[in-house]
Chains A and B, each alone.
Chain A
Amino acid sequence: MTSKQLNLILKEKTGISEKNLNTLSEALGIIIGDAMAAGKEVILPRLGTFAPRVEDETILDDRTTGHKTLYPPCLKATFAPSSSLLTLIKQ
């Protein structure tokens, strides 16, 4: 399901305009991203938890250049589904 299709369904269910749906979607992404940058978890009931994870710096061989490269640490956005969502999926 694409984002456009999702908005159509949401529009039908909530009556929110497509413009506002796009705004809400973008704003929710920013809220989740800012929270994870601050080290916070974002918990959405019946869906799951968005949480940041630190990946340490790593030295790897760059495939394109063949040089050893030190990659800096980074924060990666992760998602852990809730138990209700997992139950729903398994059913």
Chain B
Amino acid sequence: MANDNQLHLNAIVEKLAQSTRLDPQVAGDYIHALTQIIGETLAQGEEIEIGGIGVFRKSDETSYVEFEPCNRLAQLANAPFETFEPVVLEEDYPVETEGADTSTTHTESKPFAPEPKEATISEPESEPVAAFETEPETITTENNTLQHTEMESSSKTSSSKIFTLLFIAGLLTGICMGFIAGFLLRPVIIPSTCAHAPTETVEAPVQQPATEMAAPTQPEPEVEKPQAPAPSEKSAVVLDTVKPGTFLTTLSRKHYGGRYEFWIYIYEENKDKIADPQNVPVGTVLVIPPRAKYGINPGSSASISMAKERLRLYETKGE
């Protein structure tokens, strides 16, 4: 099973033949003979030097094979880090590793990882040898993690944009529907009586009965005593503003069923504001007393007669 991180005999022979422009058979014979001679030499306890590669020797203590690469091979292998140079540090620089006697010995070593470029290119299903599963995998994982993070962040950004657009569209739709519904249901929500009434209705304290105002001059208690107004009428006071060409009789006709005779009640209700009932200043806001307060009934002749009698008393008093 081929491994991208391993170079086997066939590939070596092929490369060797290509680089030397020799027959692959010659290159194969060379490698075969070379390995055989190295083994025999080491088995005899001798060291062997191969030009361009290095020196192999047998360790007497461990019966292991030691390899010392030649300078050329060491430089070629260290090509990825050849641009780095030792840096002299300041004296007070904190040292994490205890100083060694030699200036060229490094403390620890670990299997080299393939270059990030190749590690990224390698297929996911290719499993590197255990000795190589250090930095390249880390770099690949970091690259993949970064790519996944970027993809996730971009997808999150796009989804948030879509959500925001949907939210704004829904909000605008709701506002439009609200306006339309309000326009269509306006006649239902706002009563027709109030929609076109030029008057205003406000909450105000209960007015003093007219009998109290007329008591000193009115000796007819049974006629003047108004009926008890309904609770809603007691608390509701109608206001109207005097416009150009408006008289008290105009307001009486407007509010009391077209009868002008009841203007006297409006005058009595607003005595403090009206100096001359024949000439009420434009813009004066007058209180229109409720009908129940003075027993106003446009359809009743008695009510009309009572208003006329009140007017006669006023004129007599004025004279």
Contact = CB atoms under 8 A, between A and B. Distances in A.
Contacts of A68: 88-91, 93, 95, 99
Contacts of B103: 60-64, 69
Given A1-B47, A35-B7, A90-B63, A69 B118 contact: no
Question: DSSP class of A's interface residues: helix, strand, loop or mixed?
Answer: mixed
Interface in A24-83: 24-48, 50-56, 58-65, 67-79, 81
B142 interface: no
A57 B20 CA distance: 37
Contacts of A86: 63-65
A60 B97 contact: yes
Given A45-B9, A68-B95, A55 B111 contact: no
B180 interface: no
B64 A81 contact: yes
A53 B112 contact: yes
Contacts of A47: 34-35, 38-39
B49 A54 contact: no
Interface residues of B, number: 92
A54 B97 contact: no
A73 B77 CA distance: 13
B232 interface: no
B172 interface: no
A28 to B, nearest CB: 6
B30 A14 contact: yes
Contacts of A42: 6-7, 12
A78 to B, nearest CB: 7
Contacts of A77: 54, 67, 69, 73-74, 77
B108 A56 contact: yes
Given A14-B33, A65-B88, A77-B69, A54 B109 contact: yes
Interface of A: 1-3, 6-7, 9-10, 13-14, 16, 20-48, 50-56, 58-65, 67-79, 81, 84-86, 88-91
B97 to A, nearest CB: 6
Contacts of B100: 60-61
Contacts of B58: 89
A69 B87 contact: yes
Nearest to A44: B35
Contact of B112 (A36, A60, A89): A36
B200 interface: no
B235 interface: no
A86 B62 CA distance: 11
Nearest to B107: A58
A9 to B, nearest CB: 6
Contact of A33 (B22, B37, B43, B76): B76
Contact of B84 (A14, A36, A69, A73): A73
A50 B34 CA distance: 15
B109 A76 contact: yes
A32 B126 CA distance: 22
Interface in B133-166: 134-136
28 contacts: A1-B41, A6-B50, A10-B37, A13-B37, A14-B33, A23-B22, A24-B20, A24-B22, A28-B34, A33-B72, A34-B76, A37-B76, A37-B78, A40-B6, A40-B7, A44-B12, A59-B95, A59-B96, A60-B97, A60-B100, A60-B103, A60-B105, A61-B99, A63-B101, A69-B88, A75-B77, A81-B65, A88-B40
Contact of A40 (B5, B29, B42, B96): B5
B186 interface: no
Contacts of B134: 54
B89 A41 contact: no
